[in-house]
Structure 1
């Protein structure tokens, strides 16, 4: 996901699987009891109303013997928005239910461990969120699902958490001047009356509810062929089709880079869709939604395009098992976009991107001095900040430097292969990286993910005969970091030398042997360390 350029930075404090909050505890109890296997959503749209008529078939596998379970769906509120449940049935027989607040409680005959049952839920209502029924920039009516992070409950009965992945079908019926794009492959398109058309999409690989979507609007559609058996298409407002088709023309080259470095593309199609998403880009599985104003024909969308395509592997297929590990999605997409940039445009432009991302995080960090993984809060829309995007990317960048390119890429591919179509936590990534590199990475992962802040350095140096006296102080309030740092010494004759120091204490003093006077000292000349130089002082 990429944020719109004008959105303010948001505090990124993620809920923990160990959180004592009621929401987390309720999910953990449900996670231990049920596993949704498949959703089939049948949605009827109209231009006469913002209300929907819907039917959901939810197939559940039970992990234990229970006599009731909950699905998330928000009840109709005083403002008239929300859903009204009309019936719940199993094999045509009425099932008792209770719908209060955000929970639909379904009371059932006691289950057996491993048993699968399918429940059919009919309901109506006006979505308060999650399904945007509005007008686009050309004042034309559109319908775009936008479930991230847990807004699907505003219009769908589901388990609205990334740890419960399922396959999905969309049956969308709408006026026949609209087209619909949804997860998976198109199984059927039928005119159900003179003025209504039905689209049926099937997704046969499991995904989390945050990326289960469809979009219905007037589109110009370009089918640009297949790349390694992956159909590629662009869905653009007709007024923008030339610009949009041009902007998305680099999709195949981006896919090529990621397939080469990550492994096979996880889904059966890739559609790029101009939309009304609240985000700059939203990585919905197999059909990415992009903010409508990003389409301009200049190719400036390339970075967003790469970011959202990278999410198909990291975030959509290999998915964080808990919200507070979201950096496994956003940090990965940010850094792998940077790596694509390095491949496409060279090391210098890559370094400039890394410096820019480091600066964004540094400017943000004083406002929220918390670690990437923080088990305190569960306001999921506060997940989007430089902590998980830029700092998360820098964690991967430093990990790459620590283990080396060969082991880094081997680890990335191994991690993806192990957790594709399932869920992972940060300790799972650590275990894979330790296995492939034969290094103990416990302290690395602990300090960069679970410790707030970053090294803030005061550096003092002076020429002292045959030595350069160097002092490095860590001044951050969050405690000492342990890290290697390169020091570049430039001499009076213009030559230079780099020495690597291992910093373990708040204050490090050392003497570096020299054969002539040093005119300049530079910290981290090759851009491998997340740090901030507070002051650089020459004492000669």
Structure 2
């Protein structure tokens, strides 16, 4: 068996090296910040926006290519001068007026509108609008996990609505027509997919947890109910901070119940559905989803997969950390129930021939089974690694990994190196079997 495993590893070495190192192709520019002004029309399910993209030329830049979804681009200007542009397959290709030499800074200003089919959800009956994952559907951007930039966001809404957004809240402004301009500014560079906001005719509850201002929003739940169903938020943030070896970053953490979502993490903000909120009121131990989204404030938002092919580093990690929190808060049985769920899903994947290495060759059109591999198998592999290394070594390695790559994008080999450093030995056989290939059936 050992000889067969060695031969298998040797045959796969070139492939494994290529897959482990895979990340997005290098770009000729690096985005520094986005200044975005949005005016959503909730009743018409449309938006208008303007974004100024500030960038640093890593190489000489003649054209700038951004993700723009299905947005309608009205104009692109540079220093007040109109630029030529074209849109193809969700990409916006801009020809600059003059090339930007390597090491210099530049910016372009884009005016646009749209009626997004996804990425931005409208619920007119609730006077509600909220973003979900696909940032390029509501603002032109480099919508890739390895590109980090600061966000300065303004959202103009009718009076009477409450709003939450990524970044530090700035004082709102009342405009001449009575509408309110809500504003946020991020203090650190973030991947664009964690930019976001939610706004609606919300009820609100707040609570202070040490230095973190907690804020809870919902149309359907009362402030008292919000305090009850989010009672464990502070404990979750404390637990994840301890395991990460890093305090929560930011002055506030906000949780909003929206009309419908499977759950969405954003920088400093998490969205869950109203139905989920009712479920927590019915069963106070039904906290896995809110724990998962809170875990992403470290694993996903701060330590981010360099490309979606390494998505398990975001989602498998958040699933595993959710189970670790349940173990802390509810006991060993709660943890083992999560593990059994992952194992059962993995067995089902294998039975239908849908098991896969955790690292994908591409993530262009993931299926539900592919997502199960990233989320559930990814968590299960972390559970197995915990057993392989033991408590002290595993948690030391995870803490060092999180600290080392805070604010950076990673591939699976980065995680492997951190855990090997903690273990003081090679973990290549484990990673070859469970991360870089589909792995063998247990038993």
Question: Counterpart in 1 of 2:62?
Answer: 67
- 1:265-280 aligned at under 5 Å gives the runs 265-279=248-262
**Secondary structure of residue in 1 paired with 2:30:** strand
Alignment partner for residue 323 of structure 1, among 305, 308, 313?
A: 308
Cα pair distance change 1:440/1:48, threshold 3 Å: closer
Question: Counterpart in 2 of 1:235?
Answer: 217
Matched, 1:167 2:150: yes
Question: Counterpart in 2 of 1:347?
Answer: 332
Matched, 1:144 2:126: no
Aligned-pair CA distance for 1:456: 4.2
Matched, 1:183 2:160: no
Cα pair distance change 1:381/1:211, threshold 3 Å: farther
Question: Counterpart in 2 of 1:366?
Answer: 351
Moved more, 65-74 or 89-98: 89-98
Note the residue ranges of structure 1 that are not aligned, 5 or more in a row. 1-15, 75-81, 458-540
- 1:173-322 aligned at under 5 Å gives the runs 173-227=156-210, 229-262=211-244, 263-279=246-262, 281-296=263-278, 297-298=281-282, 299-322=284-307
Q: Distance in 1 between matches of 2:250 and 2:215?
A: 14
Contact 1:218 1:238 in 2 (8 A): no
Q: Distance in 2 between matches of 1:306 and 1:41?
A: 30
Aligned-pair CA distance for 1:184: 0.9
Matched, 1:118 2:107: yes
Aligned-pair CA distance for 1:320: 0.3
- 1:384-463 aligned at under 5 Å gives the runs 385-457=371-443
Contact 1:220 1:241 in 2 (8 A): yes
Q: Distance in 2 between matches of 1:386 and 1:185?
A: 34
Contact 1:277 1:289 in 2 (8 A): no
Cα pair distance change 1:356/1:238, threshold 3 Å: closer
C-alpha offsets along residues 201-252 of structure 1, whole Å, 9 cap, x if unaligned? 111222212211111111112121133x121111111544433331111101
Normalized per residue, the structure richer in helix is 2
Contact 2:355 2:373 in 1 (8 A): no
Alignment partner for residue 123 of structure 2, among 125, 134, 138?
A: 134
Question: Counterpart in 2 of 1:83?
Answer: 71
Q: Distance in 1 between matches of 2:118 and 2:375?
A: 25
Cα pair distance change 1:376/1:174, threshold 3 Å: closer
Moved more, 269-278 or 53-62: 269-278
Q: Distance in 1 between matches of 2:442 and 2:387?
A: 20
Note the residue ranges of structure 2 that are not aligned, 5 or more in a row. 1-15
Q: Distance in 2 between matches of 1:345 and 1:126?
A: 44
Aligned-pair CA distance for 1:350: 2.0
Aligned-pair CA distance for 1:175: 0.8
**Secondary structure of residue in 2 paired with 1:265:** coil
Moved more, 92-101 or 336-345: 92-101
Cα pair distance change 1:318/1:178, threshold 3 Å: same
Select the structure of larger CA radius of gyration.
1
Aligned length: 420
Question: Counterpart in 2 of 1:44?
Answer: 39
Q: Distance in 2 between matches of 1:358 and 1:334?
A: 13
